[in-house]
Amino acid sequence: MNASLPGKGQPKKLLLIEDEEAIADILSYALRKEGYTVRSASTGAAGLRLLEQYQPDLLLLDVMLPDMDGFDICRRVASEHAIPIIMLTARDELIDKIVGLELGADDYMTKPFDIREVAARIKAALRRTQRHDGRSRIKLGERMHIQLDPAAREVFKDGHEIKLKPKEFELLLLLSEAPGRVFTREEILSQVWEMDYDGDLRTVDVHVQRLRKKLDTSLIDTVFGVGYKLRGAKP
């Protein structure tokens, strides 16, 4: 695996917040062998401090930590940093998965897991953040007052930047690629989350509601019983 930034030769930086020493050691060793730079912390507080200092490209986050709830950390990181978050947990319950995704996580893995699968999920999450580099800004909405910058992963409304969580940005970007086309909830989950999702599809509805609140209630149309579509967008 090539873990470098395109054209720069710099390895991607990963931060692992995991209190089980054996798991942390195995993951860190395996991911370094894949070409990543890896730092780790065993508590939520230490992890958040390291996050600010290290500025990682992706966060691997355990749900059950000795000092903080992983979901609280996920919510905080997703609101302040535009980086992918993969949550790790020993609890195999659908509600935990739904909560993690709705709080801004990009993926959710249940222990025990195969190291090769973890590496593949990391690669997919990082690929999603890079695949639109070099594209020009996209103007959204009938009044053209919203602009989306795929390369910088930024969104502006009336010239002011609007902070979006990673999945909110990816959802908006997907819809903007085919304005007027109806995307089913299943399609959105498959393309934005890159996963087959056999549970409650409401996570898509939650992200659409957040986008409408932050941007414009008329920007995304609901096609009842099917999914969502974006009103006219121009390059």
C-alpha triplet 66, 72, 78: angle, nearest 5°: 130
Domain ranges of the chain: 13-130, 138-234
Q: What is the pTM of this model?
A: 0.65
CATH class of 138-234: mainly alpha
Asked if pLDDT for residue 20 goes beyond 50, the answer is: yes
Q: Which of 192, 156, 5 is nearest to 148 (CA)?
A: 156
- Rounded to 10 deg, the angle between the 115-130 and 21-33 helix axes is 60
- Rounded to 10 deg, the angle between the 44-54 and 70-80 helix axes is 20
Asked if pLDDT for residue 210 goes beyond 50, the answer is: yes
Residues 41, 16: contact at Cβ < 8 Å? yes
- Alpha helices by DSSP H, listed for 34-67, are 44-54
Residues 27, 3: contact at Cβ < 8 Å? no
pLDDT tier at 6, thresholds 50, 70, 90: very low
In the chain, the DSSP E strands lie at: 13-17, 37-41, 58-62, 85-89, 107-110, 138-140, 146-149, 154-157, 160-162, 183-184, 220-223, 227-230, 233-234
Q: What value does the mean pLDDT take over residues 205-220?
A: 87
Asked if pLDDT for residue 5 goes beyond 50, the answer is: no
Q: Which of 19, 76, 83 is nearest to 54 (CA)?
A: 83
Q: Count the neighbouring beta carbons within 10 Å of the beta carbon of residue 41.
A: 20
For domain 13-130, is the CATH number 3.40.50.2300?
Answer: yes
Q: What value does the mean pLDDT take over residues 86-97?
A: 78
- Tens-digit pLDDT profile for residues 131-149: 554 456 788 866 557 888 8
32-36, 128-132, 178-182: lowest mean pLDDT where?
128-132
- Rounded to 10 deg, the angle between the 202-214 and 166-176 helix axes is 90
